[in-house]
Structure 1
Amino acid sequence: MSGIVIDNVWKEYGDQIVLENVSLTIEPRGFVALVGPSGCGKSTFLRMLLGQERPTRGAILLDGQPLPPEPGPDRGVVFQRYSVFPHLTVLGNVMLGKELTKARISARLFGAARRQAREEAEAMIAAVGLSGSESKYPAQLSGGMQQRLALAQALMMKPKVLLLDEPFGALDPGIRAEIHQLMKKLWHENPMTVVMVTHDMREAFTLASRVVAFERPRDRPEEKLRYGATITKDISIWPPRQAGTPSIFRPDRDGPVTTDGLHRDDPAHRR
């Protein structure tokens, strides 16, 4: 399970109110896109889900339990800037999470444990389409490949929740479309809930099962400090999208993707 409950959350920095009275329930394996104007608190909200920030008031629950006060392996994150380590290879970047959690002192696994971690990392690298690049360094990869690497790095720890902070905004349109297909595939195949911040409305409606809009109802200059943003719209995508299940009306666009990169009901796949 990976359900999230946000109950009457406020976030304040001194006298400035950033978010006010935010309540939201995200079902397990949902895919929620957060949209809204710049500066309305979307990234702050994402950082609270990650554990980098704490609510001033209210509660955030993950699987019915209070969210741990610090980031942990149950929550993976991918940022717009490629959050990978430049001195490590593709394989080293993906293996690092396992090594840090299972070998806290040496940060390096040995023997059977290392072989198992390597096999898992190689499988994840293949899942994001980077087979053959295991020995390359991030500087040798294109932007799209680096973002695939960041996704592999986050998913290696099998998080309950994957948080995406405008992860595809810097990509060219063609590369972004490829990453969108990959993101759908990963969401269908991995038991996780996804929360994504984006300024791209088309991206939000292409990927998400729900689109949630943040906005400041009072946005005059003299009001910005004393009134924060809140949820103004919560739109469920129709036809519904459900992880692991093809859409009834658009199976070729919204259903699970096969290993050859096509959707299960794509005519090219049937041939």
Structure 2
Amino acid sequence: MSFITVKNLWKEYGDQIVLENLNLEVKQGEFCTLVGASGCGKSTFLKMLLGQESQSRGELLLDGETFPREPDRHRGIVFQRYSVFPHLTVRQNVLLGLELEQKPLLGKLFGQARKEALEKVDAMLDSVGLSASAHKWPHELSGGMQQRLAIAQSLVMRPRVLLLDEPFGALDPGIRADMHGLLLRLWRETGTTIFMVTHDLREGFYLGTRLLVFDKVRNDPHDPQAFGATITYDLPIGETDKALFTNITASVSETARNQAA
């Protein structure tokens, strides 16, 4: 049985059809990258996986059961903008989720429970390279470090599914490359199932084990909202494919630079 199953899934807002007839089966531990034109429903699909949106028609199943209707600890999300709490230190930011899970009313842990939670927090900060910044405030961190913090906030909860909505789009190329390495290492260590929206095709090929292309197969110029997008390509990506794509894009970039010169 598939870990996540999508059957004849539709999403509509009134007369506007955003997604139509999505069908997908995902195994646990896969890394799915989602690409496509702006407005084709990639982020909407992510919200449906998170529980922020419900389908209009069709089925969305987790381990054969209907997806939970509300966000929970089993599904983490990281956005392009850094979703961290500015009034909490780095360590406190990562600790907060564990405290709210165990003590939803007080939001505080004490004694042995706090000690065990802090051990998990410190291990996660070490994994994302933020141990030396544990007592800093978010505004004291660079953009890349803030995104590391956002990833730590999600992964410390050990989610079964991690949802990434263009998490590296605002980062400089060098920092972005570092974040790619970090994400791949954490994915391999945790075995978390990942869905990541990106507008960078090269990033999609490099990171994912599957590339899902969202597009409209039907268009009505007189009524642009009459039809929605669907998954037009579902491409498995092996290590050979990653290397080939990297070499091709590097060659194209070098040719472009030479022509510009």
TM-score, length of structure 2 as denominator length: 0.90
Alignment pair present for 1:210 and 2:219: no
2:51 and 2:152 map into 1 onto residues whose CA distance is 21
What residue in structure 2 maps to residue 79 of structure 1?
Answer: 79
Kept after mapping to 1: 8 A contact 2:44/2:53: yes
Considering fraction of residues, name the structure with more helix.
Answer: 2
1:239 and 1:88 map into 2 onto residues whose CA distance is 40
What residue in structure 2 maps to residue 172 of structure 1?
Answer: 172
The number of aligned residues is: 244
Q: Percent identity?
A: 57
Kindly tell me: are residues 73 and 92 of structure 1, through their superposed partners in 2, closer, same or farther at Cα, counting changes over 3 Å?
A: same
Kept after mapping to 1: 8 A contact 2:11/2:55: yes
Kept after mapping to 1: 8 A contact 2:220/2:226: no
User: Which residue identity does 2:140 align to in structure 1?
Assistant: Q
What residue in structure 2 maps to residue 151 of structure 1?
Answer: 151
Any gaps of 5 or more consecutive residues in structure 2? Answer: 245-261
Kindly tell me: are residues 221 and 137 of structure 1, through their superposed partners in 2, closer, same or farther at Cα, counting changes over 3 Å?
A: farther
Cα offset, 1:221, TM superposition: 3.5
User: Which residue identity does 2:125 align to in structure 1?
Assistant: I
What residue in structure 2 maps to residue 263 of structure 1?
Answer: none
Alignment pair present for 1:225 and 2:192: no
What residue in structure 2 maps to residue 59 of structure 1?
Answer: 59
- Which range is displaced more, 1-10 or 92-101? 1-10
Q: For residue 125 of structure 2, give the secondary structure of its aligned residue in structure 1.
A: helix
What residue in structure 2 maps to residue 38 of structure 1?
Answer: 38
Aligned CA-pair RMSD:
1.7
What residue in structure 2 maps to residue 11 of structure 1?
Answer: 11
Deviations 1:24-58 (Å, cap 9, x if unpaired)? 11111000000000000000000000000000011
TM-score, length of structure 1 as denominator length: 0.87
What residue in structure 2 maps to residue 265 of structure 1?
Answer: none
What residue in structure 2 maps to residue 68 of structure 1?
Answer: 68
What residue in structure 1 maps to residue 194 of structure 2?
Answer: 194
Runs of 4+ that moved beyond 3 A: none
What residue in structure 1 maps to residue 257 of structure 2?
Answer: none
Deviations 1:239-262 (Å, cap 9, x if unpaired)? 379xxxxx9x99xxxxxxxxxxxx
Q: For residue 116 of structure 2, give the secondary structure of its aligned residue in structure 1.
A: helix
Any gaps of 5 or more consecutive residues in structure 1? Answer: 242-246, 251-271
Q: For residue 132 of structure 1, give the secondary structure of its aligned residue in structure 2.
A: helix
